[in-house]
Amino acid sequence: MPISNFTTHDVRFPTSAHGHGSDARNGDPDYSCAYLKLYDGAELLGQGLTFTIGRGNELCVAAVQTLAEKVIGYSLDDFEADFGLASRLVLGDSQLRWLGPEKGVVHLAAAAVVNAVWDALAKRAGLPLWRYVCSIDPDRLLDAVDFTHISDFLAPEEALEWLEELRPTRSLRIKHLEEAGYPAYTTSVGWIGYDDHQLIQRLLAAREEGWTHFKLKVGRDLEEDRRRCRLFRDTLGSEVKLSLDANQVWGRDEAIHWVGALAEFDIHWIEEPVHPDDILAHREVAKAISPIGVASGEHAHNQVMFKQFLQARAIAFCQIDACRLAGVNENLAVMLMARKAGIPVCPHAGGVGLCEYVQHLSMIDYVCLSGSMDGRVIEHAGDLHDHFEEPIDVRGGRYFPPKRAGYSVDLREESLGAFSFPDGSFWLQKRD
């Protein structure tokens, strides 16, 4: 039976009231998502979402509604016979593509639709998404990747060779994931809106839980950043990793100066030091601050932009985003290119459903694409997970594989009802 109908929801959580998610660029985020459900008549097939931080979420909902029409009339058999079909349907409309192309609201919305189709396929197979993808033959999995604008960097034949090489040992890596989990770092301790007491308490609690890699938000005031980095080292010592995130607030020269002034605190990486589209500035910063690495990608619009970041050696850590890119298909392309470049994939996961999503992508990368965890970590942000039917399983600073069938973003019905605001009443409620 074909997909016959869908529903959308404008979901918003008032996280700004508690300082969660705050950084030098985004001072008052209300974590939100445009949420999609695909149906065959009355039967729910699959669900997908795309993340925003509040205002404008209704634009993504409208775009999801427009793009979801593209998959109506197609069956799951159709999508399983051609893993690139859903992506082509939502990205291939010439008039809609003009609104991007392959960036902005329409691209965010495409992720919700494409991911909902993959969620439906995995649920039909009775497998979590990462296990479902890891069961696909290499040549068929590459059908999901559009090589049109990236084959000058990565040839399909080369990618197929890697996948075939890793195929016989997939089961060993699956077993390792189930026993030992996947390494992670936590952002939840270091939002810029936290005062010293909150920062210290969260650092100590996280260290007690087994975390060894932490991230602090920086970029508002240099002396304040130096003080907070010193407070971090005084609290946890020198045996743990410290990464920083500037959220795009600096120019090239300012970034080089600022990171140099923080280097004494043994920084692992600086994230988004400059404008997210400025590949050449990223490269210049990377050269100047080495051996501190540059991490970026959560705002990189599409696989072509990632290709250029990797070609230019402008990043040391590749931060894919499950919703900024157009779903599973485009993330597969970027992870394959990252392997070609020898750059570890470390997904962005701050936001509604992003931890739930990207755990699958990192596990696919490890099992099928790269076969390696070297230098790789998944971001962890510790809020809102209880709103999902299968919250992430994070223990001792590691993600353990999801077991429930699908892509792990099934919002609980009570949460969906309580935090959906289709008529703008969320903002009226906040003002009151």
User: 3-class secondary structure for 26-93?
Assistant: CCCCCCEEEEEEEEECCEEEEEEEEEECCCCHHHHHHHHHHHHHHHCCCEHHHHHHCCCHHHHHHHCC
Q: Which region holds residue 408: left if phi is over 0, alpha if psi is between -120 and 50, else beta?
A: left
Does residue 360 have a pLDDT over 50? yes
- Band of pLDDT at residue 422, cut at 50, 70 and 90: low
Beta carbons within 8 Å of 337's beta carbon, 6+ residues apart: 150, 153, 154, 303, 306, 307, 310
CATH superfamily of 2-128: Enolase-like, N-terminal domain (3.30.390.10)
Distance from C-alpha of 161 to C-alpha of 171, rounded to nearest angstrom: 18
Residue type, 183: P
Task: Please tell me which residue in 215, 348, 360, 387 is annotated as part of the active site.
Answer: 348
Q: Is the pLDDT of residue 200 over 70?
A: yes
Within this chain, domains 2-128 and 162-413 share the same CATH topology: no
8 Å CB contact between 130 and 390 = no
- Encode pLDDT of 318-340 as tens digits: 999 999 999 999 999 999 999 99
The mean pLDDT value for 26-30 works out to 83
Strand partners, 52: 32
Predicted confidence at residue 290, as pLDDT, reads 98
For residue 430, pLDDT over 80 is answered with no
List Cα–Cα distances, 45 to 39, 48, 236, 305, in angstroms.
5, 11, 46, 33
Residues 260-307 have pLDDT tens digits of 999 999 999 999 999 999 999 999 999 999 999 999 999 999 999 999
User: Looking at residue 427, what is its pLDDT?
Assistant: 43
Least confident of 204-208, 271-275, 371-375, 424-428: 424-428
Active site residue 301: no
Provide the angle, in degrees to the nearest 10, between the axes of the packed helices 156-166 and 327-341. Answer: 90
Paired strand residues for 295: 271, 317
- What's the CA gap between 197 and 37, in Å, rounded? 41
Q: How far apart are CA 152 and CA 370, in angstroms?
A: 20
Is pLDDT of 432 > 70?
Answer: no
Write down the pLDDT at residue 421: 78
Mind listing the pLDDT tens digit for each residue in 120-156? 999 999 999 999 999 999 999 999 999 999 999 999 9
Q: Is 217 a catalytic residue?
A: yes
State the pLDDT confidence band at 431, using cuts at 50, 70 and 90.
Answer: very low
Average pLDDT, integer, range 87-92: 97
Active-site hit among 217, 268, 307, 380: 217
**Residue in this structure with the two tokens 């696919």, named with its chain if needed:** 364
Question: CA torsion sign, 76 to 78 to 79 to 82?
Answer: positive
In the predicted model, is pLDDT for residue 15 greater than 90? Answer: no
Q: What CATH number was assigned to the domain covering residues 162-413?
A: 3.20.20.120
Which of 31-45, 121-135, 229-243, 415-429 is predicted with the least confidence, judged by mean pLDDT? 415-429
Terminal-residue alpha carbon distance, the chain: 47
Q: What are the residue boundaries of the structural domains of the chain, listed by start?
A: 2-128, 162-413
Residue type for position 416: L
Task: Give me the chain's average pLDDT, please.
Answer: 95
Q: Is the pLDDT of residue 178 over 70?
A: yes
- % of residues, the chain, pLDDT over 70: 97
Task: Give the confidence band of 428 by pLDDT, cuts at 50, 70, 90.
Answer: very low
Q: How many helices (H) and strands (E) does the chain have?
A: 18, 12
Please report, as a single letter, which amino acid is at residue 389: E
Q: Is the pLDDT of residue 27 over 80?
A: no
Omega into 29 within 30° of 0, i.e. cis? no
pLDDT at 424: 47
Average pLDDT over residues 7-23: 85
- Whether the per-residue pLDDT at 174 is higher than 70: the answer is yes
Binned at pLDDT 50, 70 and 90, residue 375 comes out as very high
